[in-house]
Amino acid sequence: MAIRIALTQPHPGEALVERGLVMPSPSQVYVDGTVDLQRLQPGACLMPGARIAGSATFIGSGAVIGSEGPVTAIDCAFDADSEFCSGYAEGAVLFRGAKIGGSAHVRPATILEEFASTAHAVGLKQTVLMSYATLGSLINACDILVAGGTSKQDHSEVGSGFIHFNFTPWGERGDKATPSLIGNVHEGVFLHRRRVFVGGLSGMVGPGEVGFGSLTAAGQVIRRKVGNDRLSSTAPLAIDRERRDGSAVVGNEPKLRANGHFVGQLCALRAWYVQVRLARRERFDGAGEVRREVLLAGVRALDQMIVERLARLVQYCPANSFAVEAFVADVEVRGAMPDDLMQSLIDHRPELCHLEWVRSLDAAVVERGSDWLLVVSADAARRIGSHFPGSA
C-alpha cells in the first residue's frame, strides 16, 4: 500500500508554536516539510495524533484538526472555525464553520460549505455539501451534491445508514456515470428553498434527483426522480430474470441527460465562487468571509469534479470528438454575469458576512441571480449534449 505522506523532514514543533499554532503536545504532531508554514494561520489547533502534509494545505485560525482522535490530512483547506474530528482526508475543502465527524474517509474534490457537517464514519468523494447541509453517521455519499434549507435549524439532511450507489455493473466493466443531485445549485446558493430530508437506512441509485422540500421515507432505495415538495416512499423492486453477462446499456438518454445536468450545476457553482464569492472577497475583504485560499481550493475541487464526471461520461458513452480539457478551459470564459446584476450583487451590503449577505438580498435580485446560474448550467449541458446525443 502506498504511503500518501511524503515523509520528508518535518517542520520542528518549536517553529509551529512560534508561528502561533495551538498544539497541546507538539511532539505528537507531524507536519511534513511539504507544507508551506505561511498557509498555517496563527490560532489553528493541531491536536495530538495529527499528521499534515501537502503543499496545498491551508489551515485557518480557529480550525481544529483531530478533536476526537488521530487525523491524516493531505492537501486539504480548512477555513476558520472548521473542524476535522478524526480520520483521513485528501483534497478536502471546508468552509468556515464546517465539520467532519470522527472516523471519516474523505477523498479528493470534496467541499463542505459554511456550517455543513457530517456525523461519524462517513465516506465522501467528489461531493459537495452546500451551506448547512448535514449527513448522519455510517454513510457513503460519493459523487453527490446536497443543497437546501435556510439556516442551522432549517437544513437539508441525509439520515444515518444512507448509501449513494454510484456504480452500475452493466457492460464489460460497469460505469460510474452516476452523479446525483439533492436540491440544486442555481437556487441552493441563495438559501431560500425548503430543506430536503432523505430518510436513513436507505439508498439512492445514481444518477438520481430529489427536489427541494421533499421527504423520502427511511428504509427504501430511491430509484426514480423525486420532484419538489413530495413525500416519497416506494416498495422494493421485485425482479427475477435471466442475467446476460456483458450486456450494456450504452447511450441511455436519461442517464446522459442526468450527467449533463449535473456537470452544468457544477459549472454554475464554479461561476458563483469565481464571479460572486471571490469577487466580493477581493473587493471588500469583509470580516467573516471565507479566506481567498479556501475559495480557490473550492474552485480547484470543482474543476476536478467536472473533469472526473466528463471522463466517466466518455467511458460510459465513447465520443472521440469530445475534449475534456478544452471543455474545462472554456468554463472559465463562459457564463459571464450581466454587469448590472454584478453591481446589484457585489456592491450590496459589503459589511455583511456571506451568509447574512445572501439572506439580505432582494427577491428580484435573487430571481435574476438564479436565472443567470441556470443559464450557465444549461449552456454547459447543451455543449455536452452536442457531443453526447441525448444528454442535452
> Residue 1's pLDDT is what?
38
Three-state SS annotation for 23-34: CCCHHHCEECCC
- Does residue 48 surpass a pLDDT of 80? yes
Percent of the chain's residues with pLDDT above 70: 93
Does residue 151 contact residue 194 with C-beta atoms inside 8 Å?
Answer: no
Q: Is residue 277 in some structural domain?
A: yes
Q: Is residue 291 in some structural domain?
A: yes
- Does residue 8 surpass a pLDDT of 80? no
Q: Is residue 19 in some structural domain?
A: no
> Residue 288's pLDDT is what?
64
> Residue 244's pLDDT is what?
65
Region 85-105: mean pLDDT is 98
Planar angle of CA 183, 185, 188, nearest 5 degrees: 65
pLDDT digits over 14-40, tens only?
889 989 999 999 999 999 999 999 999
Phi, psi dihedral angles at 201 (to 5 degrees): 50, 45
Q: Does 139 or 321 have the greater pLDDT score? A: 139
pTM over 0.85: yes
Does residue 114 contact residue 97 with C-beta atoms inside 8 Å?
Answer: yes
Q: Smallest Cα–Cα separation from 207: which of 150, 134, 264, 269?
A: 264
pLDDT digits over 164-190, tens only?
999 888 777 888 999 999 999 999 999
* Structural domain total, the chain: 1
Q: In Å, what is the CA distance from 150 to each residue of 132, 194, 209, 274, 288?
A: 8, 7, 20, 22, 18
Bridge partner list, 77: 58, 93
**Sign of the C-alpha dihedral computed for residues 344, 345, 349 and 350 taken in this order:** negative
CA dist 71 and 29 (Å) reads 10
pLDDT digits over 63-82, tens only?
999 999 999 999 999 999 99
Does residue 49 contact residue 65 with C-beta atoms inside 8 Å?
Answer: no
CA dist 326 and 284 (Å) reads 33
Cell numbers representing residue 60 in the block: 485557518
Region 57-61: mean pLDDT is 96
Which pLDDT band holds residue 387 (cuts at 50, 70, 90)? Answer: confident
Q: Is residue 16 in some structural domain?
A: no
pLDDT digits over 253-272, tens only?
888 899 999 999 999 999 99
> Residue 7's pLDDT is what?
62
Mean pLDDT of the chain: 91
Q: Is residue 327 in some structural domain?
A: yes
Does residue 336 contact residue 275 with C-beta atoms inside 8 Å?
Answer: yes
CA dist 73 and 125 (Å) reads 14
Q: Is residue 222 in some structural domain?
A: no
CA dist 110 and 130 (Å) reads 11
Burial annotation 268-299 (CB, 10 A radius, 16+ → b, else e): bbbbbbbbbbbebbeebebebbbbebbbbbbb
pLDDT digits over 127-172, tens only?
999 999 999 999 999 999 999 999 999 999 999 999 999 988 877 7
CA dist 113 and 118 (Å) reads 12
Residue type, 336: A
Peptide bond into 12 cis (omega under 30): no
Q: Is residue 26 in some structural domain?
A: no
Which pLDDT band holds residue 250 (cuts at 50, 70, 90)? Answer: low
Domain that holds residue 288: 253-385
CA dist 134 and 287 (Å) reads 25
pLDDT digits over 330-363, tens only?
887 788 999 999 999 998 998 888 999 999 999 9
Bridge partner list, 105: 88, 123
Q: Does 1 or 83 have the greater pLDDT score? A: 83
Cell numbers representing residue 341 in the block: 446584476
Q: Does 291 or 58 have the greater pLDDT score? A: 58
Region 362-391: mean pLDDT is 90
Which pLDDT band holds residue 5 (cuts at 50, 70, 90)? Answer: low
Which pLDDT band holds residue 390 (cuts at 50, 70, 90)? Answer: low
CA dist 54 and 34 (Å) reads 5
Cell numbers representing residue 357 in the block: 449577505
Percent of the chain's residues with pLDDT above 90: 72
